[in-house]
Amino acid sequence: MKLLFTIFLLSVCGLASDLPIKAEKPLLNMPEMLDTGTLKVEAVRDWHRVESSVPTRQKLITIRVGELLPGREYRVPVRMIVPADRKAKGFHLTGSHQLSRIQRDAHPRGVEEDLLRGGVGLVYTMVQVLGQSGQGELGDAARRKFAETLNPSYSIQYWGWPAALMRAVTAAYAEKSHFETGKVALSGSSKNGASPSIAIIHDKRMTAVHASVSPIWDSPLRLCDRKAWKELREYNKSYVQNLKKRDPLRRTSRLLRHAPLGGTYGPVYNDEALAAGNLWKDLERLAARVADQVFITRNLDELKARKVALFFQPGTHDFIAFDIAWGGKHHPRVPLYLRANSGHGIREKHPAREKDEENKTAFLLNHFFGGKDSFLESPTVRSSVKGKRLSVTVIFKSRSRAESGRIWWMYDRGPDGSAAYITETFPDDQWKDMKFDATKNAWTVEIELNPKASRIDIFSNHRKTIRQGSEKYSSYLSSPYTRVSLKTE
């Protein structure tokens, strides 16, 4: 009998080995996100009229997002704003609000005012560190628990903030007398660009994201690739040593241990996780586990099928969106705009930067109200070295015609994620207006090369005017960020 039982177990195991592996548990459980019964709504102030340039009705509540730790509720405030004379059809959702601001009646201006005039609502919540909403102890405890377990359900950046946005949508649509189903667009910067980018992958109610200085793609550093991290550490040590030689008094410790730079999807948790007993391979496993569920570029086909609108402004020197050279090479079709010398904490404004850029306004108005004008589509870049010159051609599709072209360049820039990458900006004199070739629908330029350089980084920006009724807005699209080797074979 024992022999027969052993044979039976082996046969079962053999059959099981041919079965597909069970899919990874979803990072965000949609039935939980959609459950109005678990919101535990607490009304701070019920619906009331607010007089402003566009009269509105507003309501302030707090809601239960879920349990960030077992038995520990995570709650956020939500302010809902609709036109005074009708239901809102869809809404613009943002999380970049402080508690003191969200507690006060809102008087929307700019694009928010335009959206309300057109019958689109607004929903405000808080995507901030938990200390700003009086839940600092919970935030600290969750961070420690995540470092110990590497369970993304305990992470505010992987689970908490995206879930807060998704639950805010559920809370708004539960107000059936004030909202009807429509488009839901999200926008924001940093954590408020990263969190919507995760949420929209999971939540089919969401239809658009405009995100700035936030992650987009799954570069090797983000996936905790050992080789990439080793090369980065070695480069940074050499870079800092050279800085010290030029200025012995310069402080460089932050350049070697920059809190957000190199993180998988936000601030780096590697050292804290290793100190808690995890191994580097555990960091790699976590990155591999969450990649499909957090990176937009892992989901482009599905998002396109859903007709989701996407636009990114990662900055050229940002320590959260620190990998535009890798992204330009591997994901050249992702629509983005690069303002020269932009990013968290960058104060050195480039003199040739676009001063009339209105991308977010044009993006939101076009998404909700449509229009005759379509946005530019990502062009292709061709370059070749001819003697002492670099010839660059930026080619648009026939249905996509730009009104202007301007290129920027930098020699021997530090690698993605490095201290040099975020500290050394594009020089004031390294830019040029391009020429338009109507026969090819292309913008061309020649750059006089520095003979001492081994490579050159380039990108160009192109304007198209987007009309909404009697108003006109300047939208800008960048060519894929391109790194060209100048070494002779």
Token pair of 399 as six digits: 């249905």
State whether 60 and 104 are in the same domain: yes
Number of structural domains, the chain?
Answer: 2
SS3 481: coil
* Angle, CA 131 vertex, CA 167 and CA 342 arms, to 5°: 80
Evaluate whether residue 199 is within a structural domain: yes
* Percentages (nearest 5) of helix, strand, coil residues in the chain: 35, 25, 40
Taking the C-alpha atoms of residue 224 and residue 274, their distance in angstroms, rounded to an integer, is 13
Token pair of 164 as six digits: 């807060």
Evaluate whether residue 379 is within a structural domain: no
State whether 241 and 99 are in the same domain: no
Burial label for 16, CB within 10 Å (0-12, 13-18, 19+), is exposed
Q: What percent of the chain has pLDDT over 90?
A: 88
Evaluate whether residue 377 is within a structural domain: no
Q: What is the mean pLDDT of residues 83-112?
A: 97
Is residue 5's pLDDT more than 60?
no
Q: What pLDDT is stored for residue 17 in this prediction? A: 36
Q: How far apart, in Å, do the first and last CA atoms of the chain sit?
A: 72
| Contact call for residues 368 and 115 (beta carbons, < 8 A) | yes
What tens digit of pLDDT does each residue of 439-483 get?
Answer: 999 999 999 999 999 999 999 999 999 999 999 999 999 999 999
Evaluate whether residue 341 is within a structural domain: no
Is residue 102's pLDDT more than 60?
yes
Q: What is the mean pLDDT of residues 222-229?
A: 97
State whether 111 and 251 are in the same domain: no
State whether 54 and 151 are in the same domain: yes
Among 188, 212, 236, identify where a domain stops: 212
Element (H, E) at 471: strand 471-478
Q: What is the mean pLDDT of residues 309-322?
A: 97
Among 261, 280, 299, identify where a domain stops: 280
Token pair of 489 as six digits: 């074979």
Q: What pLDDT is stored for residue 25 in this prediction? A: 78
Evaluate whether residue 343 is within a structural domain: no
pLDDT band per the 50, 70, 90 thresholds, residue 250: confident
Evaluate whether residue 289 is within a structural domain: no
Name the least confident of 9-23, 98-112, 189-203: 9-23
Q: What is the pTM of this model?
A: 0.93
Owner of token pair 């996509």: 400
CATH of the domain at 74: 3.40.50
State whether 70 and 163 are in the same domain: yes
Q: What pLDDT is stored for residue 254 in this prediction? A: 80
What tens digit of pLDDT does each residue of 137-176 get?
Answer: 999 999 999 999 999 999 999 999 999 999 999 999 999 9
Among 185, 212, 239, identify where a domain stops: 212
State whether 63 and 87 are in the same domain: yes
State whether 204 and 262 are in the same domain: no
Burial label for 241, CB within 10 Å (0-12, 13-18, 19+), is exposed
What tens digit of pLDDT does each residue of 175-201 get?
Answer: 999 999 999 999 999 999 999 999 999
pLDDT band per the 50, 70, 90 thresholds, residue 121: very high
Taking the C-alpha atoms of residue 134 and residue 156, their distance in angstroms, rounded to an integer, is 15
State whether 155 and 87 are in the same domain: yes
* Angle, CA 441 vertex, CA 330 and CA 456 arms, to 5°: 45
Burial label for 325, CB within 10 Å (0-12, 13-18, 19+), is buried
State whether 131 and 34 are in the same domain: yes
Structural domain range at position 240: 224-280
State whether 185 and 79 are in the same domain: yes
> Pairing between strand 88-94 and 72-83?
unpaired
State whether 62 and 115 are in the same domain: yes
What tens digit of pLDDT does each residue of 262-286 get?
Answer: 999 999 999 999 999 999 999 999 9
Evaluate whether residue 332 is within a structural domain: no
State whether 262 and 202 are in the same domain: no
Taking the C-alpha atoms of residue 109 and residue 106, their distance in angstroms, rounded to an integer, is 9
Is residue 59's pLDDT more than 80?
yes
Indicate the Cα dihedral angle 35, 36, 37, 38, nearest 10°.
Answer: 70
Evaluate whether residue 320 is within a structural domain: no
